[in-house]
Structure 1
């Protein structure tokens, strides 16, 4: 679906889908950009020492990447007026294969009077939800 006309949106419409791939290189680049150099994001031994199953992606990297399909669909990042998630599980990034995260964005609610739509995101890794109650509010053109 490519329309951003509120009158054409119905609850349950899928507006975007994407598979995101994170690699260890992605994590290093994100660490440099964000300043988050916590070693659980790049050292297996440190991740294991705090009982993690392996090196994990930064939560904010996962959150930011997950909303990008909505931004692409709506056409302007300024039209995303609210975005919230609950972090439910880590994304473990394998040193060889990386990690694939699936994002499906569906219309959760439409408020024609307010000129907004709530987009509910289903964000999964390894068949488990990693961002719970992931919702973006958008104001279509």
Structure 2
């Protein structure tokens, strides 16, 4: 259920978003974005480079962070800014957890949410710092 802009408070956060990212998901994403680098889908290619599996495309995390905000705030919320920095790779078959909290609400009504993405299995931080600036439209 989405929330109204006037009901959001500093310290509050969107519901946690958890998602397992499997190889078929990664291949579908590669097809949708035309990013066919073998690093994202070819187990033999990545194993030859000493990696445990195909690496999740970094832009997937931007999509998940945006999804987390939109699901929470609803269709009237518009992302004015989305930023994120990669910290560690995530591999096919791993589950990620997106968390966040409102850090600021300015006089004009813009909501600033600080976010991060972790791999719950081992606590690895995949993306941080990250966050969104959101406004509400008519």
Range class of TM-score, shorter chain: 0.7 to 0.9
> Retained in 1: the 8 A contact 2:40–2:56?
yes
Report the TM-score when normalising by structure 2.
0.87
| Count, aligned residues | 135
Q: RMSD across aligned C-alpha pairs, in angstroms?
A: 1.9
The Cα offsets for residues 10-67 of structure 1, whole Å up to 9 and x where unpaired, read as 3221222111121110011011111111111111221133343321111111221232
Cα distance in 2 between the residues matched to 1:49 and 1:92: 15
**1:42-81 counterparts in 2 under 5 A?**
42-76=41-75, 79-81=78-80
- Which residue number corresponds to residue 102 of structure 1? 97
Q: Secondary structure at the match of 1:47?
A: helix
Specify every segment of 5 or more residues in structure 2 that has no aligned partner in the other structure, as ranges: none
> Retained in 2: the 8 A contact 1:43–1:55?
yes
> Retained in 2: the 8 A contact 1:16–1:106?
no
Shift >3 Å, 4+ stretches: none
Match of 1:138 among 107, 131, 134: 134
Q: Does 1:82 align with 2:65?
A: no
Specify every segment of 5 or more residues in structure 1 that has no aligned partner in the other structure, as ranges: none
Report the TM-score when normalising by structure 1.
0.85
Q: Secondary structure at the match of 1:73?
A: helix
